[in-house]
């Protein structure tokens, strides 16, 4: 977990549901009928495994893997529709539970909406064909997060589900998606922000070390000590201003540009 993870999440009870198999109906309505029992287990968070349409091309088994998603912004028709999902979420909230859904942002199915509409967003092999990092995942192609407009699309998709009442997301194979995406900044921004903090710390340590060394030499060096302290303070101030400038530029790029 992240260092700033709220305490209640650290001890929360999560109940995982695969809607297709959870009840005989295999629908949101079926899960709805079981919510009171689930809440009675002191569940804090209801986790719905992928609820989206499953790809057909290269699918594994007759039903396919729910992690080979053909459309991030749609609901598998056999589960219900958006209204059914909202009813399920509203009831879960009424029973005191949060709801999170799976997001599978490393890859899509081999016949996904994105592959058809935005083929440039996909990882390619040496021959220019759509490819994947994990060979055994033969029913998917990996996304290429070097395209910043892909980031915007994925974030807008998350907002869509939040608007439906979803409280949070379980991010499948999150480690295969660039860390910069989860942080919401480019790698250059991350490096500059981290580097500016380290630079400030180094300058402050050097300043303190020089002051201490000169003070220990003797009274005759007090004038030099004062000058060194003044120069050190100026260096710290300039470094601090540089850090503030980098942070301001990053915030502008992220929220205002």
The mean of the pLDDT values for the chain is: 85
At residue 107, what are phi and psi to the nearest 5 degrees?
-155, 165
First to last CA, the chain: 31
Most confident of 107-116, 192-201, 207-216: 107-116
Q: Is the pTM of this model over 0.85?
A: no
Region 183-193: what's the mean pLDDT? 60
- CATH 1.10.287.3610 range(s) for the chain read 187-256
pLDDT at 21 over 80: yes
Query: Residue 195, Cβ neighbours under 10 Å: how many?
Result: 12
At residue 38, what are phi and psi to the nearest 5 degrees?
-65, -45
Q: Is 204 a catalytic residue?
A: yes
Asked if CATH classification 3.20.20.80 holds for the domain at 7-183, the reply, yes or no, is: yes
- Residue 253's pLDDT band, with cuts at 50, 70 and 90, is low
Q: What angle do CA 190, 194, 197 make, to 5 degrees?
A: 150
Query: Domain spanning 187-256 has what CATH number?
Result: 1.10.287.3610
What is the pLDDT at residue 23?
A: 95
- Which of 117, 204, 211, 253 is catalytic? The answer is 204
- CATH 3.20.20.80 range(s) for the chain read 7-183
């Amino acid at each position: 977990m992240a260092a700033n993870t709220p305490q209640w999440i650290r001890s929360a009870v999560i109940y995982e549901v695969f809607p297709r198999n959870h009840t005989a109906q295999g629908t949101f309505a079926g899960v709805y009928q079981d919510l009171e029992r689930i809440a009675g287990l002191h569940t804090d968070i209801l986790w719905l495994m992928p609820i989206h349409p499953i790809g057909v091309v290269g699918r594994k088994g007759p039903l396919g893997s729910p992690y080979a998603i053909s459309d991030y912004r749609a609901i598998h028709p056999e589960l219900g529709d958006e209204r059914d999902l909202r009813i399920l979420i509203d009831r879960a909230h009424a029973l005191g539970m949060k709801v999170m859904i799976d997001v599978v942002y490393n890859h899509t199915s081999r016949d996904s909406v994105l592959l058809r509409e935005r083929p440039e967003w996909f990882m390619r092999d040496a021959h220019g064909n759509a490819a994947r990092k994990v060979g055994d995942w033969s029913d998917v192609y990996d996304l290429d997060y070097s395209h910043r407009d892909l980031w915007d699309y994925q974030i807008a998709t998350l907002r869509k589900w939040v608007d439906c009442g979803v409280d949070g997301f379980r991010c499948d194979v999150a480690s295969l998606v660039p860390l910069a995406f989860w942080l919401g900044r480019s790698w250059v921004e991350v490096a500059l922000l981290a580097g500016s903090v380290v630079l400030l710390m180094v300058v402050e340590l050097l300043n303190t070390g020089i002051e201490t060394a000169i003070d220990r030499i003797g009274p005759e060096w007090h004038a030099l000590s004062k000058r060194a302290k003044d120069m050190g303070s100026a260096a710290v101030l300039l470094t601090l201003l540089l850090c503030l400038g980098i942070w301001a530029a990053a915030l502008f790029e992220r929220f205002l540009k």
